[in-house]
Amino acid sequence: MNDTHEVRITTQDRSARCPADQSVLEALLRDDIWLPHSCTQGTCGTCKVRVLEGEVDHRDSSEYTLTSHERAAGIALGCQATPCSDLALEPAERVDPGDAVPRHPLRDHGGTVVLLDDIARDVRRLVVELDEPMGFNAGQYAEIRVPGTEVSRQYSMANPPSRSDRLEFHVKRTPGGVATDGWMFAGLRPGDRVELKGPLGDFGSNPPSGGAAIMIAGGTGLAPLTSIVRHVLAGESAPPLYLYHGGREQRDLYDAEFFRELEQHHERFTYRPCLSEQQWDGAMGAVTDVVLDDFASCKGLSAYLCGPPGMIEAGVKALKRRRMAPRRIFREEFPDASDNFAGAR
């Protein structure tokens, strides 16, 4: 049996038991102790903590995300660091925990595939019926394990939290990918069993409220935004929502009919698909440029961006040009999946 250590978060005065081979972030989340985090792969730095007492093994923490200067100052990545002793930690940056947002403990789950359909070019809709419900917030994701391997991939839930026993994922095929070409686009079938863990991420920790919100998706970045849109519109006082979905060609877009129907039933919701490489009767150009054309000013508005890093970067610049406050811009990057990066996000 592995040694375990006590990991205490001083800002919450709570602690969890953490095996020596488990990240401190996972141990805390499993014990329902919230720590800000996003990618869980050591690439974003959202989960940085300050080690006040004890020692950690930094494991695979990269110099790019965690510099030698930060290590010397006692900073660690919660998603990578494992305990070498009992620990006392605090978040490296004080972050509003969002008391109004429910928190859900990280758990292992099993489920059965009930739907697996092609919905766009190299994109499949995967629906899993869980054995037990998994509470989550709109915008969060789960890690799905590839059978017979130690490989897991991250996929955001596209369904609203109100349906916590039936999770929907949008899966982008990666040529040669272990999870996609090697499994989900090859041998996976309805009726097969799936193992996953979740929820993870804090993309939905600041749900739209008050002023209007612009939502910009590239590719399968549409998944978490779909969850957020459906959740917000189900409330009693939804703010105006503007959803933009960008693709190269029409075959890259999906669920357009669903969003058109949603638009008909909710006067405060607007759907704007756009293409960058094909002539059609809708909006054309880079999705972020279409947003610039539609809004002369974004002052007082919020934005949620999800998709490839290049789109995120362009979107943030565009929104700032339209006077949107940086603190109102929330983002979730979906890097291209590869066997060297444990995620399709």
What residue segments make up the domains of the chain, in order of their start? 4-91, 107-200, 213-333
Dist. CA 238–CA 265, nearest whole Å: 13
Q: What percent of the chain has pLDDT over 90?
A: 87
Distance of CA 163 to the CA centre of its chain: 18
CATH of segment(s) 4-91: 3.10.20.30
CATH topology of domain 213-333: Rossmann fold (3.40.50)
Q: What pLDDT, on the 0 to 100 scale, is given for residue 96?
A: 58
Dist. CA 293–CA 330, nearest whole Å: 21
Dist. CA 106–CA 214, nearest whole Å: 29
Structure tokens at 256: 């357009």
pLDDT tens across the length of the chain (345 residues): 468 999 999 999 899 999 999 999 999 999 999 999 999 999 999 999 999 999 999 999 999 999 999 999 999 999 999 999 999 999 987 655 545 678 899 999 999 999 999 999 999 999 999 999 999 999 999 999 999 999 999 999 999 999 999 999 999 999 999 999 999 999 999 999 999 999 999 997 777 877 899 999 999 999 999 999 999 999 888 899 999 999 999 999 999 999 999 999 999 999 999 999 999 999 999 999 999 999 999 999 999 999 999 999 999 999 999 999 999 999 998 875 433 333 344
Q: What pLDDT, on the 0 to 100 scale, is given for residue 99?
A: 54
Q: For the sheet containing 14-19, what is the strand order?
A: 14-19, 4-9, 87-91, 48-53, 75-77
What is the β-pairing status of strands 87-91 and 48-53?
Answer: antiparallel
pTM of the predicted protein model: 0.92
CATH of 107-200, one of 3.10.290.10, 3.30.230.10, 2.40.30.10, 3.90.245.10: 2.40.30.10
Q: What pLDDT, on the 0 to 100 scale, is given for residue 1?
A: 47
Torsion angle of the four alpha carbons 332, 217, 320, 268, in this order, in degrees rounded to the nearest 10? -120
Q: What pLDDT, on the 0 to 100 scale, is given for residue 205?
A: 76
Q: What pLDDT, on the 0 to 100 scale, is given for residue 9?
A: 95
- Identify whether 160 is preceded by a cis peptide bond (ω within 30 of 0): no
Contacting residues for 91 by C-beta, under 8 A, at least 6 apart: 9, 11, 35, 36, 48, 49, 50
Contacting residues for 323 by C-beta, under 8 A, at least 6 apart: 297, 298, 299
Q: What pLDDT, on the 0 to 100 scale, is given for residue 235?
A: 86
Contacting residues for 258 by C-beta, under 8 A, at least 6 apart: none
Dist. CA 109–CA 328, nearest whole Å: 33
Containing H/E element for 242? Answer: strand 241-247
Dist. CA 268–CA 220, nearest whole Å: 24
Length of the chain: 345
